[in-house]
Amino acid sequence: MPDSSLFVAVYTRDLRLALRRRIEALLPLAFFVVAVSLFPLGVGPEPQTLRQIGPGVVWVCALLAAMLSVTQLYALDYADGSLEQMLLTGHSPVVIAVAKSAAHWTLTGLPLVLCAPLFGLLFGLERESLVVLTISLLLGTPTLSLLGSVGAALTLGLRSAGMLIVLLVLPLSIPALIFGTGAVAAVEGGQSAGAHWSILGALLIFTALTAPPATAAALRISLE
């Protein structure tokens, strides 16, 4: 099977399985909505304060929502033996890792990107800031899915895998968090967000080149 056909097969399979488990698939989005909505109630209605913390709150909640779902990225396939069968067929584990990361971003990251402007309005962000926030999440959330894939593969079959993934992935996600929120702060300060977008793009390219091979190696080790 060509790599492109394998990618499409694994990607569509994960999407179909997610549709059968709608509650689990919607849990990260529900967490994101609830968590972001609670901050204005806890902080207070002061517009200036909300505008200052808004981008950071949205980014942190998006990061935690992504970590909430990444624990199941390989666990179910590992439990029913389908992951082992995929690897035993001789297909490239790198393509499998890329396809599963892409499916995770489609199910988790993309809804967060689409919802971000609505919650930016909740914090009183201006139109330009909303655009910058959305683009920064569009560049940053795929990085979170790729890093989460590495963490999920490294902790496959271990007890307390969810906590271990958080401890492994969160420190690596800090640069995306910093430059994602910094892009909005730069625009609100009258500067260009281009530099922050460039760094986010560079992080995405670097992660896209290194995370799938690392995930493939971790899957081989976990299944030995």
The interaxial angle of helices 47-70 and 110-122, nearest 10 deg, is 160
| pLDDT grade for 224, boundaries at 50, 70 and 90 | low
pLDDT of residue 208: 93
Q: Which residue has the tokens 């899957």?
A: 219
Tens of pLDDT, residue by residue over 99-108, are 999 999 998 8
Domain boundaries defined on the chain: 3-223
CA distance 93 to 220: 8
Tens of pLDDT, residue by residue over 130-181, are 899 999 999 999 999 999 999 888 888 777 767 788 888 888 899 999 999 9
Residue 196: how many other CB atoms lie within 10 Å: 24
User: Do 180 and 98 touch, CB atoms closer than 8 A?
Assistant: no
pLDDT of residue 55: 87
Question: What percent of the chain has a predicted confidence (pLDDT) above 70?
Answer: 98
| pLDDT grade for 2, boundaries at 50, 70 and 90 | low
Q: Quick check: 50 pLDDT over 60? A: yes
Q: Which residue has the tokens 């890792």?
A: 97
Residue 38: how many other CB atoms lie within 10 Å: 12
CA distance 19 to 23: 9
pLDDT of residue 38: 86
Contacts made by residues 170-177, CB under 8 angstroms, sequence distance 24+: 170/63, 170/67, 172/147, 173/63, 173/143, 173/144, 173/147, 175/199, 175/203, 176/140, 176/143, 176/144, 176/200, 176/203, 177/59, 177/60, 177/63, 177/140
Closest of 172, 152, 173 to residue 163, by C-alpha: 152
Section 17-34 average pLDDT: 84
One-letter amino acid of 151: G
> What value does the mean pLDDT of the chain take?
86
pLDDT of residue 205: 95
Burial class of 192 by CB neighbour count within 10 A (0 to 12, 13 to 18, 19+): exposed
Closest of 175, 154, 177, 174 to residue 164, by C-alpha: 154
CA distance 67 to 28: 9
pLDDT of residue 3: 67
Section 114-139 average pLDDT: 88
Residues 6+ apart with CB under 8 A from 199: 175, 179
C-alpha gyration radius of the chain:
18
Section 4-10 average pLDDT: 84
